[in-house]
Structure 1
């Protein structure tokens, strides 16, 4: 049996109130903290703004402009907390005790600009205030009177929670994006392709970023809210010969989908034009169209494996705790739902594997004969399952690594094998998970399915796991998958798995990590220091990590000081290796393809040489100043007939059940009778609600 850790609050998001008191300043303002001489006779008012990135202090003056400010109260005094919705996503406010129990709460409110108040009498049982749908980033401390705690810090206590690793530089190669979501470099082509959330594919060469999109599918996307948009790209192993590549994007809800669902996730093939410099949108061939119950937990990664098959990741459908409308029943009766453990009703919560070079049973793709459920109960497209929101994944040295975003407490990276079950929603990482109350997890849970469920398959542990925070120090809230670095240009990184997290506390400050692979057990990892950054961290949201054909790695960022940009990860000045990385990793290892890398480009004007490895200075550094993404004359008319679910391109139904009730992903109903708790989704796009909203407005869409 796997042991839970319900009482180990330091490892999760449930911090002890007293642990944080010593780090907070006194907030003694008129009408905010009652005087020591007696109880105030009037209700004291506290004003906040609420957005996924965190609570924003407004008044009294002592908390103005602070993120997740400490609320210093006096027991017995009546308070009114009034907060305003700043981003149009579903939020509420709840007061918790030291054990995470809810003492007071409001209903979920999702109208931007709307305000809500909670009036209560302060009690010393109150420890924290949170937004339950986004408790990972919208969380603050409550303290009382002049109570302070002086903590004795030993030398071991002062060590960072995550050890410091090598220092690297982020050399910006292109900018001006809204939210760059993915990056790919077909072998032998010499070009780097960057996706932007509103629907554009851009090309970067050693001469800089081309202004006109290589392809624009913005008019085929659903409204850009939550985690919807253009999400993933992959190039066929024979791209140099056949010009075929693949996109994952969020389309408007299909006509035959359950009316209460959010949208339809499309996996489509496109073919470049004859000279290879662009793509006709009408070349689209839809392979899969999967209906999603909510706009959250879409996954979105696609990649070709060494076997030549296409792998695609899908999240659990987005409702909190993998339960509710659109979430199938499964074998684990102790938890309600869900899609992560189901393999018979839909394709959600899984990594799929298909053969794009064949057709079968009326589908525009074939099923590899050795897929694990072929000839067994279950849908044949499945390769592995038990995922919550596998946002980014990729092959390194022939093995598939999938980063799965956790809910409230833990993030994880899995080394994925055929037929593997990775535990959600029985477990979050290696820890038991309970759908009744996520702050009171079960002490025990199964470590395998029952014998009558696929023979009692084991629930596999991740190779990397970390809590959102430990000992009062934030680590991250949404893991971003990466690759094993095979070059030697950056000292200390060769052979390490480089990955990251989009934000340390909901603010635009991401992290890069490097883990040391081992055959068994969990991998130790350290945090990379960013040269020139005052904080030493990524000074923006980390959206994704890309890799080119030479093995160089790239960080894709949005917002913050870095903005929407692509940065090559290089050695910090003075720390470069004595030899360059050129030639140390061939295109086969970098792309996961077993075939010989083609030597000619499909574009007559593109350079056939890859970028100079590790230099960080090759090619022009450019910003995308103008593009179709900022053309306000365009409207969101939905997808054209070429992307629809037709008889020749059948839609795989992702529902498994009819949907009723709330599907907005807010984690609670409008009445406030019950409010489910959800983490940050994959965090990357959900916490960029303001950025996505900007993109939507630029496209002429209503937010």
Structure 2
């Protein structure tokens, strides 16, 4: 639960605003111990009582804000900002995003957590001389390119089973044999979509794993999926999902004394029939990873679509694993370590068996094989590498969701360090201060050996980046040579020219405007919510799709009429 405005890009909470109501405190005795439990479950991902995390620190509020203000804010933040309440306006301006409503929480839990928060004192000053960071690190804004893309609505996905949300559509690609579009919902379902736009439920992962957990707002659930390049022959299909706490021995741990909030699991499925409309077959666990918190988990798995049989990269599975919210828990040593799995892109051979758990292979070409570092690591220094995509020329682009300031794209290369948690984009973070503040790079920066983005923007432009695809279709020639991506919360659609991508420099980002049914639109107009939750998909012909996760709609980018 977020008591003040926090970046929705970081917390990944459903942005639907529920009906505002006021609950008086009279008639209830507050249970501070229960409030601490509620805080841990709903608030601690982004708040603490020492310094600003993803959201502001909450110590010392007693005597500054009253209980009713906090209750009103939790129930409906938008109502207070629309009413020009000074404190609400101030937090909105600072964090540049709405906080979602939490009025669906139990009345007693709300009162208990507020009582717990109001008991916490202001954080102690360390007596250090204040170091002033950059409030607007990238002054130049993203400009409209003069180009427009046209949308055609394909369908609205069916409701799924979590009470707070309708659907959590997250990823789209295509079936390697039938070429049908295949689309996943974080709530556990994968669908096939045929050329008549008819939807079939291919898999409901919750029916196979009794400990499957899905919490809207925390990027948990069915995270990603991928077909093996030899799927037509070996019938192998891969998924990732979350389970609560420890339900099995983990392959990667960070210390027995630290909590485990979730586990991410990679599963290999051997299908009975590779072209069946419904998945039937055997499941085998490949990897299980502990995470210290619910956020920034295993957002992506993917194979190189351009590698050919015999190429060194053929059949190797890339795994985007975030820092697991380690920085929010003040555990920066977890991702900032080449011998740990978190904050990395991993690469494995799922057909091999020379890993420590004997369930997958370690590619001999991985950069840390034979030297200090985790053998599975391909590259490090990411906060939340949410998408991995290949260009036709063989280069790999990773989108990385930032903390308070910078959203970035990187060229992924073996053994590189992209800086997190000591860098955010092309800016430095002082590890003795808050990770929410960035500074200019030091003069001796080259000696640290960090690799910097090929494109970046700050939170004046958007709150969270969403990776996309190089356009490889034929229907819209004007999009050829462009890498299409966007911004999750506000739903802006961008591109960078592939010919301008060069490591060591930042490519200028251009914005694409949208039209549908002959009229200019924005995705926020279509969704009618404060958070669009933008995703991209691509079909077998290379055409690009837009998904608005907030309302479960799928659109195709089509030629103008």
TM-score of the superposed pair, with normalisation by structure 2: 0.69
* Cα drift, residue 503 of structure 1: 1.5
2:549 is matched with which residue? 558
User: C-alpha separation between the residues in 2 aligned to 1:447 and 1:237?
Assistant: 44
1:92–1:262 distance in 2 versus 1, CA, 3 Å? closer
User: C-alpha separation between the residues in 1 aligned to 2:385 and 2:278?
Assistant: 28
1:30 is matched with which residue? none
Q: Deviations over 1:380-399 (max 9, x none)?
A: 00000100001112112222
- Give the aligned length: 434
Which residue, out of 441, 464, 469, partners 1:478?
464
Which has more radius of gyration? 1
User: C-alpha separation between the residues in 2 aligned to 1:566 and 1:52?
Assistant: 18
Task: Say if 2:468 and 2:485, in contact at 8 Å, map to a contact too.
Answer: yes
Which residue, out of 508, 513, 519, partners 1:529?
513
Which residue, out of 471, 483, 486, partners 1:497?
483
User: C-alpha separation between the residues in 2 aligned to 1:104 and 1:529?
Assistant: 43
1:249–1:526 distance in 2 versus 1, CA, 3 Å? same
2:228 is matched with which residue? 236
Task: Say if 1:511 and 1:542, in contact at 8 Å, map to a contact too.
Answer: no
1:387 is matched with which residue? 382
SS at match of 2:479: coil
1:364–1:278 distance in 2 versus 1, CA, 3 Å? farther
Task: Say if 2:190 and 2:201, in contact at 8 Å, map to a contact too.
Answer: no
* Cα drift, residue 135 of structure 1: 2.9
SS at match of 1:549: coil
Which residue, out of 180, 197, 206, partners 2:186?
197
1:375 is matched with which residue? 370
Task: Say if 1:165 and 1:514, in contact at 8 Å, map to a contact too.
Answer: no
Which residue, out of 391, 397, 420, partners 1:396?
391
User: C-alpha separation between the residues in 2 aligned to 1:271 and 1:58?
Assistant: 49
1:662 is matched with which residue? none
Are residue 261 (structure 1) and residue 247 (structure 2) matched?
A: no
Which residue, out of 411, 418, 425, partners 2:421?
425
Are residue 106 (structure 1) and residue 98 (structure 2) matched?
A: no
* Cα drift, residue 478 of structure 1: 0.9
Write the mapping of 1:311-330 to structure 2, written as runs, cut at 5 A: 311-320=318-327, 324=330, 327=331
Q: Deviations over 1:29-84 (max 9, x none)?
A: xxxxxxxxxxxxxxxxxxxxxx8749999799xxxxxxxxxxxxxxxxxxxxxxxx
SS at match of 1:213: strand
Task: Say if 1:217 and 1:281, in contact at 8 Å, map to a contact too.
Answer: no
1:294 is matched with which residue? 293
2:71 is matched with which residue? 115
1:276–1:56 distance in 2 versus 1, CA, 3 Å? closer
Task: Give unmatched runs, 5+ long, in structure 2.
Answer: 1-6, 8-12, 23-38, 75-85, 100-139, 159-166, 251-255, 308-312
1:566–1:260 distance in 2 versus 1, CA, 3 Å? same
Q: Deviations over 1:186-238 (max 9, x none)?
A: 33422111101110111111132334334433544224242211111111101
User: C-alpha separation between the residues in 2 aligned to 1:445 and 1:290?
Assistant: 35
User: C-alpha separation between the residues in 2 aligned to 1:395 and 1:379?
Assistant: 24
User: C-alpha separation between the residues in 2 aligned to 1:212 and 1:55?
Assistant: 29
1:554–1:189 distance in 2 versus 1, CA, 3 Å? same
* Cα drift, residue 137 of structure 1: 1.6
* Cα drift, residue 302 of structure 1: 0.8
1:407 is matched with which residue? 403
User: C-alpha separation between the residues in 2 aligned to 1:230 and 1:552?
Assistant: 24
Which residue, out of 329, 343, 347, partners 1:349?
343
* Cα drift, residue 247 of structure 1: 0.7
Aligned-pair RMSD on alpha carbons? 3.8
Task: Say if 1:388 and 1:424, in contact at 8 Å, map to a contact too.
Answer: yes
Write the mapping of 1:589-668 to structure 2, written as runs, cut at 5 A: none
Are residue 166 (structure 1) and residue 127 (structure 2) matched?
A: no
* Cα drift, residue 181 of structure 1: 0.9
* Cα drift, residue 276 of structure 1: 2.9
User: C-alpha separation between the residues in 2 aligned to 1:420 and 1:238?
Assistant: 29
Quick check: which one's helix share is greater?
A: 2
TM-score of the superposed pair, with normalisation by structure 1: 0.56
User: C-alpha separation between the residues in 2 aligned to 1:55 and 1:175?
Assistant: 20
User: C-alpha separation between the residues in 2 aligned to 1:529 and 1:237?
Assistant: 35
* Cα drift, residue 449 of structure 1: 8.5
Task: Say if 2:321 and 2:342, in contact at 8 Å, map to a contact too.
Answer: yes
* Cα drift, residue 466 of structure 1: 0.4
2:164 is matched with which residue? none
Task: Say if 1:103 and 1:126, in contact at 8 Å, map to a contact too.
Answer: no
* Cα drift, residue 174 of structure 1: 3.0
Which residue, out of 502, 515, 525, partners 2:496?
515
User: C-alpha separation between the residues in 1 aligned to 2:199 and 2:142?
Assistant: 42
User: C-alpha separation between the residues in 2 aligned to 1:401 and 1:503?
Assistant: 21
1:437–1:411 distance in 2 versus 1, CA, 3 Å? same
